Amino acid sequence: MIKIRHKKPECIGCKLCADEAPQYFQMDEDGLAQLLESKQQGVFQLADGFDEDLEDLKRAEEGCPVDIISIEV
């Protein structure tokens, strides 16, 4: 199981994560990325991901221009 961490307050709304991993991220009504099925812990949204989605999640993590997505295998 993959651990996903997203720091939503620092999101700039570029939409890259939602394009690369739409099964985990979508844009909310404010134009910011929302980590789906997540729980809030401080400023972070936390969720679990499936191993078969690792490539998509890594592209989202590596492409994020403000470096607010963390993927832990």
DSSP string, 8-72: GGG-----HHHHH-TTTEEE-TTS-EEETT-EEETTEEEEEE-GGGHHHHHHHHHH-TT--EEEE
Tell me the residue range of the domain where 42 lies. 2-72
Give the mean pLDDT per block of 10 residues along the chain (73 residues). Answer: 97 98 98 98 98 98 98 97
Secondary structure letter of residue 5 according to DSSP: E
This prediction has a pTM of 0.95
Task: Say how many domains are in the chain.
Answer: 1
pLDDT of residue 49: 98
pLDDT of residue 38: 98
pLDDT of residue 72: 98
Which CATH number belongs to the domain containing residue 29 in this structure?
Answer: 3.30.70.20
pLDDT of residue 26: 98
